[in-house]
Amino acid sequence: MRVRGFLLLPTIALSALNVSCPRPASEPAATSPAPAPASAVTAPASAAEPPLAAPSPSLAGPATAADPAGPAAPPGVSAAMDATASATTDPAADLAAPGVDPLALPVLPPQLVDDGSDELPRLDPPPTAPLTPKEEVHELASIARETWIFAEPRWTSRRIGYLRAGAVVARRPEPSGRESCAGGWYRIEPSGYVCIGASATLNIHDLAVEASSRRAIRRFFAQAASPAPSAPRGEAAAPRAELASLDLRGEAAPAAPHARLGALPAAADAAPAALPAAADATPAALPAAPDAAPAALAAAPEAELAAWLNGLPYTYVMSRSPTPPLYARLPSEDEQRAAEPDLGAHLLRAATAARAPDFVAPPPPDATPSVLLYGRPAPGLAGDRRSPDALVLGRARTRSGFALLSTFDHDGRRFGLTTDLTVLPLDRTRVIRPSAFSGLRLAEDVALPVAFAKRRHATRLVPGERGGLTRAPLRFREALPLSGASRRVGGIDHLEARDGSLVRADDVVRVDPLPRAPAWAVRGRKWIDVSINQQSLVAYEGSRPVYVTLVSTGADGLGDPKTTRSTIQGLFRIHTKHVTVTMDGDEEDEDPFDFRDVPFVQYFTEGFAFHAAYWHDEFGTPRSHGCVNLAPLDAAWLFEWTTPEVPAAWHGALSLRKGTLVSIRP
């Protein structure tokens, strides 16, 4: 698996960094695709390539040192960055040698010690909040997939993070310099500098900013960063009593349009009051207090959306076959029939599918995005090359996943606006119902061992009303804190839970405390322990476990990560975090895929990362291409707990020396 179109970290000198879940060495090397929309779609085979419009001078003028055409750096700088990168190696590469027990190391290796090299220079004070409502607010906005944030106001400085299109951040009123940046380098909140030019603008009302204004939901961010989420610009949070008449953005739900084009039945578009409880839901396992959202958050529409998404940052859909066209604008009925020759038969099949028991309805419709009204095309992000007359930008690839900024009705069909600002018909996709599984957050009085039920029809023994023991159901993957004691009942070994119940030892995965904490696990230091054999993850603060869950590591178990789909072993640091990032494989692969906006990605060495998986629900079983897959709720929690921290408006953050330690072992 690779991250498409994402240039990562040349300025902090990681030569071996492949931003992907790795592929076996025998497979063809990944190549960078053409700029979007080619990076997002495959052009229709039957259609001639549309003419490309000249880029807007205000967004992507000629590549000059004063205004580089692209989010990275001006000509000449990239070559220097690459030369610097090639002269160094991954700092944790020699810690991944076979046979190295990361827990037995007496001290941290020098390459993992925080030597202060990641400290940010203090050149300018941060932006200040206005003292009065009438005082001007100074902000800038991202208009690209990646708007890089630099430690200092120059292209050759190291990158410390990036913004995603639609992000608006506070800035200082005046630029801190204009070195190779005609628009000026601005100090932003909470740190770093952004160049105003091809990927960022001072016009926070730019169409690309407006179209991308809905931000990714970070369910656990508010707990760690602020007591309450900020209301939308110029609006107040809606009271919970009013949510029934509001759409998911807090706006009045529009009246349903006149049904045309064989619209789906009403049931297909109606979002359930609540998602049906999944068979593996473990609400009892999660303590209410630690994970409870603040009261102010519960009153906001985002809380309803976060609950519906079950930890995912967006609504996600997967393409069906044949794959959906990706429109540049809302098509008329005639244009839909021309672009989708099978439309009539397809809508009949979609109506039948909507009546299936496992059908997942999309969320309630939003208002049509204003940028799409009156037949206007969706604005392209910086670097996109779209013809103003283009209707179809291409078709989704096989086994594609998309994140949606909004869904809305048009001519009797439901459409979605993707994070790449393309429009796709949702009846050619299936809405993702994310896994309801989550691990167990360990309070001060709850520690390991913890057991997870690994059989779907497991039971446990509880005291009966008339004495003796009786059987009670045990949900699949339900977490049970254990007392540490065991008993034989009927000749079968049972483990005793803290509540006094008994569970068969062969029905559960048991996660035990470590015999002894690593010498380097000093008090308060955060670190993560992953066991490939047990498919478990435990988050520690010093020697105290604070979270335990099940994961999916590489499908090939303990194999060679260079030649098989196995997870690398060793001791590492998380160095790069993305709220979401796209991962894909080559069409020639035996398992081609194109997953947009994979949530809560945390790279720790080469192409290996923790991330949520919205396309499967097999946590506890080896499954991945080499990364460590987590359920969405687990990934969302872990993302906010680890370092480097990703500030509220940022989409990614980078640090070589301050990231959370990661131990991966058999």
Cβ proximity of 199 and 68 under 8 Å: no
Contacts of 490 (CB under 8 A, 6+ apart): none
Q: Catalytic annotation on 195? A: no
494, 611, 625, 651: the active-site residue: 611
Give the C-alpha separation, 219 to 227, whole Å: 13
Report the first-to-last Cα separation within the chain, whole angstroms.
22
User: Cis omega before residue 190 (within 30°)?
Assistant: yes
Q: List all residues 6 or more positions away from 633 whose beta carbon is below 8 Å from its beta carbon.
A: 219, 310, 311, 435, 437, 438
Please name the residues in contact with 25: beta carbons below 8 A apart, sequence gap of 6 or more: 562, 563
For residues 202 and 204, give the distance between their C-alpha atoms in angstroms, rounded to a whole number.
Answer: 6
Starting at the edge strand found earlier in the chain, the sheet holding 544-550 runs: 440-441, 544-550, 536-541, 526-531, 661-665, 570-573
Do 623 and 629 form a contact (C-beta atoms < 8 A)? yes
**Taking a C-beta distance cutoff of 8 angstroms, is the pair 91, 108 a contact?**
no
Marked catalytic residue, from 494, 575, 627, 651: 627
Instruction: Say if CB 582 and CB 593 are below 8 A apart.
Output: no
- CA 254/CA 163 separation, integer angstroms: 31
Q: Decide: 329 and 377 in contact? Cβ < 8 Å.
A: yes
| Cis bond upstream, residue 666 (ω within 30) | no
In contact, 619 and 610? CB cutoff 8 Å: no
Neighbours of 319 (CB within 10 A): 20
Structure-block tokens of residue 120: 């940010």
CB burial string 406-436: b at 16+ within 10 A, e below: bbbbbbbbbbbbbbbbbbbbbbbbbbbbbbb
Quote the tokens at residue 175.
Answer: 């630029």
For CA atoms 450, 451, 452, 458, give the dihedral sign.
negative
Lookup result for tokens 């690209």: 144
Question: Alpha-carbon distance 404 to 10, whole Å?
Answer: 30
Is position 627 annotated as part of the catalytic site? yes
Active-site annotation, residues: 611, 627
